[in-house]
Each structure stands twice: as structure tokens, then as C-alpha cells.
Amino acid sequence: MPTVLITGANRGFGFLLARLFLDDGWSVLACCRTPDTADDLKKLQAEADDRLQIHALDVTDFSQVDALAAELHGTPIDVLVNNAGVLGKTTMDEGAILHQSFGQSDFDEWDHVFAVNAKAPMKVAEAFVEHVAASERKMIVTLTSIVGSVEGNTFGGLYAYRASKSAANAVMKSMAVDLAKRDIIAFPIHPGYARTDMGGVNAEIDPMEGARGVYNVIASATPESAGRFWSYTGDELPW
């Protein structure tokens, strides 16, 4: 039975991906900051025939990341999904575009956004690389965003979030190069602008459409997928 580890699995894309992997017969290691309040995830666990484990993990707490990696020593992880992410102090519905406009920079917010969106995927990958290397599928995936595409930036704004996702893309590109010698497939993927808590009510797609697309890209990935920037639609995006 293959195993997937998902960060930020208590809601949004992380939760939906956990459901999709379970539906396909996978074992799921679902990580979130506060499992005690993750009611939907605990309900899913009760229905999962012991195939879902819930682990407390704040991806910005690197000692906690290392501790979980040690706890799971000897557990092969076929797919590592860096899903945990933040937009900033405000959601799209709360005015993130205005809040992160030019002249409004909150650099404490920048630090937090970069910690979650760019530094944490690197740390989690480094902590769990041996678990991934010991598996059959050997894959590390990070959910980023199309707004991290420099070439695709036509409307500006969202400075902290956009820059953090560009950084995450760069991390995954280098990771793909460095880990190819270990036959590990690494790539970033855009899950779509979806109606999650972060994306807001006016986003373009239903969250399950994005999650299912991400799942399909992961399921069909080959070594040639590594180091390329993918959309949930299966299309390749420009850096």
C-alpha cells in the first residue's frame, strides 16, 4: 500500500487530497497544526479503516518537523505533498489585494508568508528525503500558485504572496535537479484559484476540481515531470 504525507491536511486542498488518496487505497499521513480541532479530519480518520494517521505539525517549527521525521523513521513515503500555505494576514475576501499592494508592505507579514510558503517546503523535504528515497514512487510535490509565475505576472500586486510562491518554485526546480540522482521526482503545481477559505467566494473553480486535478497530475507523473511547473489541468506553466 503506497503512502502519502500531506501538510496542512485539515482543510482546503490538503483535506480534499487526503480524501482522494484514501479513496484510491493509499495510506495517508495527515499533518496539521492542531489535530484536536480538526473535526473533519478526525471524522475522515474514523471512516478510513486505520489508513489515516493524524500528526501535529506546524511546518514553521523546524524542531517539530525533525521530531516527526524521527518518529516516522523507517516509514517509506511514496509522495510528500507540501500543501500548507498562507496568503497573508488577510484572505481574498478580506481585501488581500489591497493589503498587499505597493506602498502597503508589512514586512513582519512577509517573514511569516515566506516561512510557510518557501522555507517550510524546503525544510520538510530535507527532513523526509530519506523516507521518500526508501519508497517505490519517490515524489516530492509542492502546491504553489500561478501568481508565482514571473512571466505570467500581468497585474502586479500581492507582493508577499507572489514573491513567496516564486521562491517556492525556485526551490522545487533546484530540488528536482539535485534529487534526480536519487531518482526522486520533484515539482511544483498550481492547484487552481479555488473557492477555499484563502481564495474566497469569487474564485474561479470549485476546490474539488483543483484537488482532483492535482491528484491526477501526481498519479500520472513520470521522471520527465520533474523540475517543471504544472497546472492542475495537466498543462505546463511558464516560470
Q: Where are the domains of the chain?
A: 3-231
Residues 6 or more apart in contact with residue 125 via CB below 8 angstroms: 80, 82, 140, 175, 186
Q: How confident is the model at residue 15 (pLDDT cuts 50, 70, 90)?
A: very high
* CATH number corresponding to 3-231: 3.40.50.720
d(CA 177, CA 166): 17
Tell me: the pLDDT tens digits for 21-45?
Answer: 999 999 999 999 999 999 999 999 9
Query: Which pLDDT score, from 0 to 100, does residue 194 have?
Result: 62
pTM: 0.94
